[in-house]
A and B are shown apart, each in its own frame.
Chain A
């Protein structure tokens, strides 16, 4: 007759002010690094921030944040542990690094389960690290999290942007709010992405130059926050906070 978990999701997110879904049509564009750094940057500004990694088959934010020794507590559901001030939730607490080969229906079920049992409490921003592509996770976010706003990440590559164009077209067609597009890993001057984004009527939030020091900072948050990448994300965080809280 009915899946009881779905009806409680809205209630679980009641005290979350803004949901930012960091997404892209393509993998490898830097979503997880942007989602993690954006969360840290917003928390640094004094906001209460949650980070939820829903890339269930390939979670990676726990590696970026070095969050492998924490676990949630049980209290009428599940309360995410704090990692560098963030309320941090990931399937890694349950899969413990084992490969989790999930088909679409399993991805949906795992997402519904975690949305139904996780208690975020008072939260200004819940940043979601989405898996790549336009599949179950995107469709489920749209279906289940009515307050989701999408933050779309691309690289300067025409191939990456082509997938972003499709994702953005879907979101526009479904009237889902898009905060804007970030161009990551920029290696040379080119107006191509900005022009294309603006042609679609979307906001071009800014560009992040390719940062060769970033790989070394993965797993060391202090180092990460000192990178040029993080400086750029902090500027974007300011813009995103002003834009979304003003909506």
Chain B
């Protein structure tokens, strides 16, 4: 599962931050998960709970906030939200693995341009790490 690879990345990054900040244990990790990548939150949560064992994160609580994927056309300035049900299953899966591939399939609903930016809600982002020194 792709979520496991991302969970591993989160645990690895938090561990590095904890060591850098001199934390003996991590108590809280806040994550933002963008809807463009269509992460299965429950799988991510399960993977995190498995991977945190025997690490500085063992007692950490993961607070996961989802963020709508907002796109903005660079040509006409139109803003819109990505909705999974508006793309085919295969396309949704491709975007799940590499969100940038949205540029191969999605066009601005107003002017038809593929030149848009993901203003927010792309993928997994680490917001904060709390712990005890």
Contacts and interface: CB of A to CB of B under 8 A. Distances in A.
Q: Do A and B bind each other?
A: yes
A78 B104 CA distance: 21
B126 A100 contact: no
Interface stretch (B11-19, B52-60, B64-72, B79-87): B11-19
A7 B98 contact: no
Contacts of B99: 109, 113
A41 B94 CA distance: 31
Interface residues of A, number: 36
A4 B124 contact: yes
Given A3-B126, A11-B12, A116 B5 contact: yes
Contacts of A2: 13, 17, 125-126
B124 A117 contact: no
Nearest to A97: B104
A8 B127 contact: no
Interface in B11-29: 12-14, 16-17
Nearest to A91: B98
B9 interface: yes
B122 A109 contact: yes
Contacts of B115: 101, 103
B8 A8 contact: yes
Interface residues of B, number: 35
B103 A117 contact: no
Contacts, number: 108
Interface string B90-110: 100011011111011100000
A103 B75 CA distance: 13
A94 B1 contact: no
Contacts of B105: 98
A221 B128 CA distance: 50
Nearest to A56: B100
B78 interface: no
A4 B12 contact: yes
Interface in A80-107: 91, 93-96, 98-103, 105-107
A110 interface: yes
Contacts of A6: 9, 13
Given A102-B100, A109-B122, A4 B2 contact: no
B31 to A, nearest CB: 8
19 contacts: A1-B125, A3-B13, A4-B13, A5-B123, A7-B16, A8-B8, A56-B100, A78-B5, A94-B97, A94-B104, A101-B115, A102-B100, A103-B115, A107-B100, A110-B98, A110-B100, A114-B98, A116-B9, A117-B6
Interface of A: 1-8, 11, 56, 74-78, 91, 93-96, 98-103, 105-107, 109-110, 113-114, 116-117, 119
